[in-house]
A = this chain, B = another copy of it.
Amino acid sequence: MPTTVITNIGSLVTNDPSLGAGPLGLVADAAVVMEDGRIAWVGPAGRAPAADETFDAGGRAVLPGFVDSHSHLVFGGDRTQEFNARMSGTPYTAGGIRTTVAATRAASDEELDANVARYVAEARRQGTTTIETKSGYGLTPEDEARSLRIAGRHTSETTYLGAHIVPPEYTDDPAGYVDLVTGPMLDACAPHARWVDVFCEKGAFDGDQARAILTAGARRGLVPRVHANQLGPGPGVQLAVELGAASADHCTHLTDADVDALASGTGTVATLLPGAEFSTRATYPDARRLIDAGAVVALSTDCNPGSSFTSSMPFCIAVAVRDMRMTPDEAVAAATLGGARALRRDDVGHLTPGARADLMLLDAPSHVHLAYRPGVPLVSRVWQGGIQVA
């Protein structure tokens, strides 16, 4: 495979403080050499080694590909009408998920596969080079396993979310549904998933149910992550930290004890999903409070057809800066390195030599423009494993 040098980079975010200035490891007038799908060299353009191919960045900014550690891309149908109604005053509840469950069950494998491919490609054009995605709209052993098999064709970061909601057929027997999720459904899904997740929220699963589900998944080698404290306070964050989950996601309603737990250095990342608050007109999580306490924060899209139908990490960055009191530097770090930490990946989210050659060129001189120019499609080119994919 030929080596490629990207040269004349006006501003390079490496996320490696040993390579450049500040926490982002910023290098001005930089070059990056890619070889065999990996970063081979990073430094000042004037000192770059020769390579087979040269790409001139024209003084623009380069940064690591986004790591979107929370999405729900295996679904059928859409929920335009529900969105329209909500924007006229109907509040968001977990109940709308049932609409997508019905549409997903009714969809063919080909339809679901095409849908995932479409949204993964859409995200990639906006700079996302690693994306996690979940089951959770099947809610039978067959439909959940099918969702994960399909997801697995598009990403290695697959999450078993049989415990998204209690499906209509188990409304009168939630304990029976938990038995299914921790029994036959887990048997069917574990071979196809890396992670296990629970929507721990009033109207979905309580703390005891969530503990049972996450523990059962962990016994099968799936690492826990938790939908926690989105719609109100609850046990999700504490449970995530206690069980050593990779991430507690949403973190919108936190007590001081929740913040302390996330800041305790146990390796549970606080993954914030501003698209959900944007699209449900909810109060945003307070990223500043978490960062100041010492928690590791990730930003992700939560892309799903109900509560956050955006695939745009740049959009999430802009909203996080505007409404969650993050600085542009913090938001960019959370959307790259933060996401990598939430997926316990050390090969992505930064551009240290040896890392995957996942990176993007902006049509802008600085990563700050991702927040400074909200809504503008600034991602100009994207490389994934050293290959230009957008």
Interface on A for B, CB 8 Å cutoff? 78, 80, 83-84, 87-88, 122, 125-126, 275, 278-279, 281, 309-312, 314-316, 318, 321-322, 327-328, 365-366, 368-369, 371-377
Contacts and interface: CB of A to CB of B under 8 A. Distances in A.
B375 A84 contact: no
B281 A368 contact: no
12 contacts: A78-B372, A80-B365, A80-B366, A83-B368, A84-B327, A87-B327, A275-B374, A281-B322, A309-B369, A312-B374, A315-B374, A315-B376
Contact of A371 (B83, B321, B327, B328): B83
A42 to B, nearest CB: 23
A373 B310 contact: yes
B311 A376 contact: yes
This protein's copies in its complex: 2
Contacts of A84: 327-328, 368, 372
Contacts of A368: 80, 83-84
A310 B315 CA distance: 12
Nearest to A329: B84
A369 B88 CA distance: 15
A372 B80 contact: yes
B328 A374 contact: no
**Which of A275, A371, A373 lies at the interface centre, i.e. has the most chain B CB atoms within 10 A of its CB?**
A373
Given A87-B327, A371-B87, A374-B310, A279 B322 contact: yes
Contacts of A87: 321, 327-328, 371
Contacts of A321: 87
A278 B126 CA distance: 21
A78 B373 CA distance: 11
10 closest A-B pairs by beta carbon, nearest first, are: A315-B375, A312-B375, A377-B377, A83-B372, A309-B373, A310-B375, A310-B374, A80-B368, A312-B376, A87-B321
Contacts of A366: 80
A369 B87 CA distance: 12
Q: Which of A80, A125, A321 has the most CB of B within 10 A?
A: A80
Nearest to A125: B377
Given A84-B328, A311-B376, A375-B375, 14 more contacts: A83-B328, A83-B372, A87-B371, A122-B376, A278-B374, A279-B322, A279-B374, A281-B322, A309-B373, A310-B374, A312-B374, A315-B375, A318-B375, A374-B375
Nearest to A326: B87
A322 B278 contact: yes
Contact of A279 (B125, B310, B372): B372
A78 to B, nearest CB: 8
A165 B125 CA distance: 40
Nearest to A85: B327
A39 to B, nearest CB: 26
